[in-house]
Amino acid sequence: MAIEIEQPSSVELSKVAVSETHGEDSPYFAGWKAYDEDPYQESNNPSGVIQMGLAENQVSFDLLEEYSEQHSEAFTWGKGAPGFRENALFQDYHGLQSFREAMASFMEQIRGGRAKFDSDRVVLTAGATAANELLTFILADPGDALLVPTPYYPGFDRDLRWRTGVKIVPIHCDSSNNFQITPQALEAAYKEAEAMNKKVRAVLITNPSNPLGATIQRSVLEEILDFVTHKNIHLVSDEIYSGSAFSSSEFISIAEILESRKYKNSERVHIVYSLSKDLGLPGFRVGTIYSYNDKVVTTARRMSSFTLISSQTQHLLASMLSNKKFTENYIKTNRERLRKRYEMIIQGLKNAGIECLKGNAGLFCWMNLSPLLEEQTREGELALWDSMLHEVKLNISPGSSCHCSEPGWFRVCFANMSEQTLEIALKRIHDFMQQRERQRKPISSQ
Amino acid sequence: MTQTQTRPTTEPERPKPTAATAMRLIVPLQGVVQGRGGLILGSLIPCALFYFLQFYLKRHRSPNPSSDPPSPSTPSSNLADLPRTSSRSNLSSRGSFGPVRVSSRAGSLAKADDSTYYIGLNKVKEDPYHRTNNPNGIIQLGLSENTLCLDLIEKWVSENLTDSIMGSDGGDLSISGIAAYKPFDGMTEMKVAMASFMSRVIGKAVSFDPSQIVLTAGATPAIEILSFCLADHGNAFLVPTPYYPGFDRDIRSRTGVELIPVHCRSTDNFVFSITALDQAFNQARKRGVKVRAILICNPANPVGNILPRETLYDVLDFAREKNIHIICDEIYGGSIFGSEEFVSMAEILDSEEGDKDRVHIIYGLSKDLSLPGFRAGVIYSYNDSVLAAAKKLTRFSSMSTLTQRLLISMLSDTRFTQEYFETNKRRVKEIYDSFVAGLKQLGIRCSESNAGLYCWADMSALIPTYSEKGELELWDKLLNIAKINVTPGSACHCIEPGWFRCCFATLSQEDIPVVIERIQKVAETCKFPS
């Protein structure tokens, strides 16, 4: 006979805690798990999974190492540690002035001096992830909507929505025009939000785009700016890959457009930046919101109390980024090396019979595998992704996790590994494609 | 010597009228609702008329993106800075920031910074005392920081830093070892070092398990992340008063969680009773508000007392009975200067069987190790689901790996930490004794405390009327005439007027007579009614 024992009710958690909005069950993250379990290593595990799903920049580490060897005083507080005391106590949400100035100047350098940045408008956050979430908290109420062009960085689903309660309504883009944002698509997204009774508060673009690996054209930026002005909403421009454009002149920042318009209607524009991609320092947690809106600057500063950058880190980077010799050389060298890597992977993929979207920036390329799909659906794409992960042992990001409306596109990162590893990855892809070709050819009877 | 401290507070700001949210419910129109609109009760007609008037005015005024007009406070008083009640709210829209709106959450954050706590901190920033450079400046007694042993940390840093960061042999110690993406909730070595440190400093009899640690960029996000995990918007936490003024902003602004004060009295040395908790819980329930947790601070801030062991057991029983969480903020756990024993909640739980899922401890290095700038906070939880959710949320508030590298070294240096804590205890006690004695000479009694970086002073004899208004008048005099910044009890939600928190751990022995003398001048004027 069953014995019923009263079970004490366990203490409840919040909706945020149990929500799935963190998105960590999606394929984007599942691939990472597979990599963690069987990571490629040149000597120890040459048949392991090669991680091509992480947009990390390791091509210019040697420059950072060189800097740290030559400028060890930036990493300490010098002999006897003068200035340490003040630094250790510094938790002002305005941030270290010297660091804000260095950051503003670095951002100017990346844009070839074509835009000016006022250090008083720089708000510091512990990473761009925090910056994007903070802006969402400030610009939108729970239930409101942000318009984001697809395909977009999978992390946005979590960063913009999870704690904020804000919705993302996609601005659909497709390959017919190289996934560029059109006024029609903007308008359609706006109407879609209205039909769902959601108030649109902002458009959020990533420029250069993740996952496309391409900069947004000037004319498109002008159209987007006109659109948000007309609708009286905000524009957030995540320019985290601005320093990773292969050539300085090809990247046009929204700041340049605003300057050319003499900053008319600029109080609706906010730029997000970080040192995680361009400078390859994601561990340091350095992000910034640059806003042309005074109220947003003030509010963001206060809210940054929840996400301050360590004063030790600010101290080091103030030194590093105000060293013009270092930054100029770094920016130039980094661009060249990324371009080289890009060309290498594009050629390698071409040799394997794979086409990519024409890119000019970022740490990844946007690869078209739709000809390989058994069926032109999300399921078909995921089936292919699964083979890539478990047979070819490459973790690449499926377009569906980026909300791409066309199945078969994949984001492939090329900057988070050595050239040798990239060669091996390309070889694996080449072999995979050859094998598929052989499988398709019928066995001719002799 | 008093440091010129900077801390996370506001720029000079005009108070914002309340009820922007109510406004939004009634008048869902963009242009009007920018946090400047006042409360309009009544029908839609005045609302609509108001909207059209604003619309008209806005059309005829060019957008002005320049910064806020200067604060209206006169040099001699900050009383005008305090938030105005809604009955006097201002409908006009001074200093427009442009027509595009910001959210209501942004507005509520702005409001939170109107407390005397932040106003005072701000004032010091404008005119900070310096013994030689600015002897007439405002002495900061409103910021709970400890500068008494920074010389020891300085010494450690200058002797040890190169090895710990640079590492001549490359590999894991080179910059590439720390520059890459690491787990957002902290590197394993950092959790191990922190767990060991906490065991030595606050655990004593018990040890902390690194796998129950989530690291955050300071205790401020630690408590916010925890709040997001334990409560939904509109739920509440019970918080015994007086409590740390920062909780109002840190816990409420983005989570929407309400803080329900559970009032404590000087007759109990401000220790809460279970009866009071129970009453508060039931009252909330009658209002339809769901209480999700009780938040306690041990050692307490601002009173500085250590909760007795029985109280901790009582709270655990209470939480079990009501099936709610306990958040135990032990950030001052290593700042004990008195003879009383500090018992961590971890020690209580160590002897308990089962049902620990509801207990979560907050810790950090800002107070015990004087490193607020480095942003090192801890959520220590016995609940795996909370740990899992909190871990994911640390992506928004992660510790810098550069700082983790430094701290792993420092916290693991047991010889250093032992010396630090022994010296610190002695120096804090010395300053505390002198300071409290000095106040005593003025007839100002402090409540009994054994911990923290502050004392809780009863200045009720000096206030003109035994009320919050009287207390604020004294606060204003102390700030603007005596030029010392102390935190009034009302900012801490204390139900008895006249209490003030005075932070002393940034003072040197030489500063104390200066402080006492300044208070004396004001005290004398208070005794003679004008």
CB spacing of A283 vs B102 below 8 angstroms: no
Residue of B nearest to A24 (CA): B392
Residue pair A59/A415 in contact (Cβ under 8 Å)? The answer is: yes
Among this protein's residues, is B331 annotated catalytic? yes
Token pair belonging to B374: 């480095």
User: What pLDDT is recorded for position B115?
Assistant: 87
The active-site residue, picked from B16, B111, B356, B367, is B367
Contacts of A16 in chain B (CB under 8 A): 228-229, 232, 389
**Rounded CA gap, B215 and B209, in Å?**
13
Q: What is the average pLDDT across B138-158?
A: 95
Distance of CA B479 to the CA centre of its chain: 20
pLDDT digits (tens, 9 = 90+) for B47-85: 566 556 666 555 554 433 333 333 333 446 777 767 644
Residue pair B328/B293 in contact (Cβ under 8 Å)? The answer is: no
Q: What is the average pLDDT across B211-237?
A: 98
Contacts of B63 in chain A (CB under 8 A): 265, 267
User: What pLDDT is recorded for position A133?
Assistant: 98
Residue pair B183/B213 in contact (Cβ under 8 Å)? The answer is: no
Bridge partners for B445 per DSSP: B458
Q: Measure CB to CB from residue A283 to each of B179, B220, B358 and give the nearest one.
A: B179
CA distances from B227 to A34, B231, B237, B255 (A): 32, 6, 9, 7
pLDDT digits (tens, 9 = 90+) for B447-463: 989 999 999 999 999 99
Using the Cβ of A272 and the Cβ atoms of chain B, whether some distance falls under 8 Å is answered with: no
**Does residue B10 carry a pLDDT above 60?**
no
- pTM, two decimals, is 0.88
Contacts of A281 in chain B (CB under 8 A): 179
Residue pair A127/A285 in contact (Cβ under 8 Å)? The answer is: yes
Residue pair B302/B492 in contact (Cβ under 8 Å)? The answer is: yes
User: What pLDDT is recorded for position A444?
Assistant: 58
Token pair belonging to A400: 């569906």
User: What pLDDT is recorded for position B53?
Assistant: 65
**Rounded CA gap, A396 and A411, in Å?**
6
CA of B389, closest CA in chain A: separation in Å? 5
**Does residue B36 carry a pLDDT above 50?**
no
Q: pLDDT digit of tens for each residue in chain A (446 aa)?
A: 555 554 445 788 999 998 887 877 777 778 888 898 999 998 999 999 999 999 999 999 999 999 988 888 888 777 777 789 999 999 999 999 999 999 999 999 999 999 999 999 999 999 999 999 999 999 999 999 999 999 999 999 999 999 999 999 999 999 999 999 999 999 999 999 999 999 999 999 999 999 999 999 999 999 999 999 999 999 999 999 999 999 988 999 999 999 999 999 999 999 999 999 999 999 999 999 999 999 999 999 999 999 999 999 999 999 999 999 999 999 999 999 999 999 999 999 999 999 999 999 999 999 999 999 999 999 999 999 999 999 999 999 999 999 999 999 999 999 999 999 999 999 999 999 999 888 877 665 55
Contacts of B359 in chain A (CB under 8 A): none
User: What pLDDT is recorded for position A28?
Assistant: 75
Alpha-carbon Rg for chain A, nearest whole angstrom, is 23
Contacts of A305 in chain B (CB under 8 A): 8, 220, 249-250
**Does residue B396 carry a pLDDT above 60?**
yes
Task: List, by residue number, the catalytic residues of A.
Answer: 153, 238, 240, 277
User: What pLDDT is recorded for position A32?
Assistant: 84
Question: Which residue has better confidence, B301 or A27?
Answer: B301
CB spacing of A267 vs B370 below 8 angstroms: no
Q: Interhelix angle for A128-139 vs B104-112, to 10°? A: 100
Q: Which of A123-127, B131-135, B486-490 has the lowest mean pLDDT?
A: B131-135
User: What pLDDT is recorded for position B146?
Assistant: 97
User: What pLDDT is recorded for position B69?
Assistant: 37
Residue of A nearest to B101 (CA): A139
User: What pLDDT is recorded for position A394?
Assistant: 96
pLDDT range class, residue B381, cuts 50, 70, 90: very high
A109-145 burial string, b = 16+ CB within 10 Å, else e?
A: bbbeebbebebebbbbbbbbbbbbbbbbbbbbbbebb
**Rounded CA gap, A285 and A111, in Å?**
22
Residue pair B376/B402 in contact (Cβ under 8 Å)? The answer is: no
Residue A125, phi then psi, degrees to nearest 5: -140, 160
Question: Which residue has better confidence, B489 or B112?
Answer: B489
CB spacing of A284 vs B175 below 8 angstroms: no
Q: Measure CB to CB from residue B396 to each of A76, A133, A232 and give the nearest one.
A: A133
CA of A79, closest CA in chain B: separation in Å? 6
3-state SS, A3-44, equals: CCCCCCCCCCCCHHHHCCCCCCCCHHHHHHHHHHHCECECCC
pLDDT range class, residue B526, cuts 50, 70, 90: confident
The active-site residue, picked from B81, B329, B458, B476, is B329
**Does residue B179 carry a pLDDT above 50?**
yes
pLDDT digits (tens, 9 = 90+) for B400-435: 999 999 999 999 999 999 999 999 999 999 999 999
